[in-house]
Chain A
Amino acid sequence: MSDVVVVDYGAGNTRSVRAALTRLGRTSVVSSATSAIREADFVVLPGVGSARSAMQHLDDTGASDALRQRFAEGRATLGICLGMQLAMASSEEDGGVNGLGLLEGDVVRLKEGRVPRLGWSVVEPWGQAYYFAHSYAVRSSDTVADVEGVTVAVRRDSFLGVQFHPEKSGPAGLDFLDQCLSLA
């Protein structure tokens, strides 16, 4: 099986994602190389950092276009947390940032409860608890799961985005990641 490409955008915690992939028996490389991102069977766009610096980095390296190309060609991409938010058309984070525009929708600051939203929530329809750590949330017609009105998963064609961190969500998170990989 070919390597999973974990997209490098300068601030992400790629180590935990790679450790989870290793536990699932997959090899992975961290890369911002356009050809690797475009052609991999499976790409993970991880999520730590701020929207502006992440998009800047993706644009500067050409990774943005590579991600758009693989999406157009129907290759599977999993966006985690900020990685999911970056797939939207725009975000109000950092005074307003244009995203990759793979999905319809935008990203707004959370208004309810304590922000950042930190901790575990049970996500339907999967019935498992996953770990969340975010201050912004997606609003999209591509939403496939929500918790208390907050979008926690989006899907369009070959792009799946989750607001939670499967790599930090114990055995349930690993199972989730494994199922994502098996869809590729």
Chain B
Amino acid sequence: MPLARLIPCLDVAHGRVVKGVSFVGLRDVGDPVELAELYSDGGADELVLLDITATPEDTATMTSVVERVADVLEIPFTVGGGVRSVDDASRIIESGADRVSLNSAALADPSLITKIASRFGSQAVVVAIDAGAGVVHTHGGRVATTTPTVPWAVEACERGAGEILLTSIRQDGQRSGYDLELTVAVRNAVTIPVIASGGAGSARHVADALRVTDAALVASIVHENPTGLAGLRREIEALGIELRPLEVPYG
């Protein structure tokens, strides 16, 4: 089994990294390329860039961000937000991203998962699920659908998704730990890896998630102290989680 992964997530709006809760009080926290490099240097195993505005006018801006990030980054990254077609996915992957993340577009048209997977491989397709009270939510977690969470994860897997990015709406932003019960329920139902998301407030929370699943997404815990990622990794390792070795002398 591959080593557990720690994945910082950058929310991008109009080409800048922002911080805020549910689109309210968005604050500019920096340039995506600079932050991506900083997290890469700090030992991120992957990055997720989420275009949280994703209006048609932002397409060119986001494409340019993806290209610039790809040119400096030496680790894989996933781009989500605004991927609504095979053409959108192609544009993002050809700009240098390794994977695209689908959310509401996959829910509206599940065949999109298969179409992108058959062109670029399953490893290139992440299906993001915002889950709360047993059902999938859309619009950044504000709108509940009638689709139950676990069966949707299974369908996404069967249709060719390569990974599930599972966010607990209840825990998101609370910094009181991941929803481990939800994570385990989804992971047990699918054969693909699952990234836990929502709720990280400490190294212990991340370690607890990595004991039950393949990867953990971190946001505010690292954004508040971008240079503290290396320290967070060491704390997680001290709790008994094996992460990838960063500095092994060559030869």
Q: What separation, in Å, do the CA atoms of A57 and B163 have in the docked complex?
A: 28
Among B40, B119, B192, the residue within 8 A (CB) of A114 is B192
Q: What separation, in Å, do the CA atoms of A67 and B193 have in the docked complex?
A: 35
Among B2, B4, B99, B118, the residue within 8 A (CB) of A50 is B118
Indicate if B93 sits at the interface (CB-CB under 8 A). Answer: yes
CB <8 Å contact, A15 and B67: yes
Residues of chain A with a CB closer than 8 A to B76's CB: 131, 133, 165, 168
Min C-beta distance of A41 to chain B, whole Å: 24
Given contacts A19-B71, A19-B96, A113-B1, contact A118 B162 (CB under 8 A): yes
CB <8 Å contact, B70 and A48: no
Interface membership of chain B positions 1-32, coded 1 if the CB is closer than 8 angstroms to chain A and 0 otherwise:
11111000000000000000000000000000
Residues of chain A with a CB closer than 8 A to B61's CB: none
Indicate if A122 sits at the interface (CB-CB under 8 A). Answer: yes
Q: How many A-B residue pairs have CB under 8 A?
A: 119
Min C-beta distance of B121 to chain A, whole Å: 6
Indicate if B74 sits at the interface (CB-CB under 8 A). Answer: yes
Indicate if A16 sits at the interface (CB-CB under 8 A). Answer: yes
Indicate if B237 sits at the interface (CB-CB under 8 A). Answer: no
Interface membership of chain A positions 169-184, coded 1 if the CB is closer than 8 angstroms to chain B and 0 otherwise:
1111111000000000
Within residues 7 to 44 of chain A, which ones have a CB less than 8 A from any CB in chain B? 11, 13, 15-16, 19-20, 22-23
Within residues 101 to 128 of chain B, which ones have a CB less than 8 A from any CB in chain A? 118-124
Residues of chain B with a CB closer than 8 A to A118's CB: 2, 5, 123, 162-163, 193, 214-215
Residues of chain B with a CB closer than 8 A to A120's CB: 2-3, 5, 45, 244
User: What is the interface size of chain A, counting residues whose CB is below 8 A from a CB of the partner?
Assistant: 42
Residues of chain B with a CB closer than 8 A to A167's CB: 74
Residues of chain A with a CB closer than 8 A to B124's CB: 48
Min C-beta distance of B216 to chain A, whole Å: 12
Min C-beta distance of B144 to chain A, whole Å: 29
Within residues 200 to 238 of chain B, which ones have a CB less than 8 A from any CB in chain A? 214-215
Given contacts A114-B192, A114-B193, A120-B3, contact A168 B98 (CB under 8 A): yes
Q: What separation, in Å, do the CA atoms of A73 and B162 have in the docked complex?
A: 39
User: What is the interface size of chain B, counting residues whose CB is below 8 A from a CB of the partner?
Assistant: 40
Within residues 61 to 107 of chain B, which ones have a CB less than 8 A from any CB in chain A? 67, 70-72, 74-76, 93-99
Residues of chain B with a CB closer than 8 A to A82's CB: 121
Min C-beta distance of B105 to chain A, whole Å: 20
Min C-beta distance of B242 to chain A, whole Å: 10
Residues of chain A with a CB closer than 8 A to B74's CB: 20, 23, 167-171, 173-174
Min C-beta distance of A21 to chain B, whole Å: 12
Q: What separation, in Å, do the CA atoms of A20 and B75 have in the docked complex?
A: 11
Within residues 170 to 210 of chain B, which ones have a CB less than 8 A from any CB in chain A? 191-193
Among A19, A20, A50, A133, the residue within 8 A (CB) of B98 is A133
Indicate if A134 sits at the interface (CB-CB under 8 A). Answer: yes
Within residues 64 to 95 of chain A, which ones have a CB less than 8 A from any CB in chain B? 82
Residues of chain A with a CB closer than 8 A to B3's CB: 119-122, 129
Indicate if A56 sits at the interface (CB-CB under 8 A). Answer: no
5 further contact pairs, Cβ within 8 A, besides A53-B119, A165-B76: A11-B120, A114-B1, A119-B214, A129-B245, A135-B121
Q: List 16 A-B contacts (CB under 8 A).
A: A13-B97, A15-B70, A15-B94, A15-B95, A16-B98, A19-B70, A48-B98, A49-B119, A50-B120, A114-B214, A116-B163, A119-B3, A128-B248, A129-B3, A134-B123, A170-B246
Binding site for A on B (CB under 8 A): 1-5, 40, 45, 67, 70-72, 74-76, 93-99, 118-124, 162-163, 191-193, 214-215, 244-246, 248, 250
Return the 3 tightest CB-CB contacts between A and B, nearest first: A119-B2, A129-B244, A15-B96
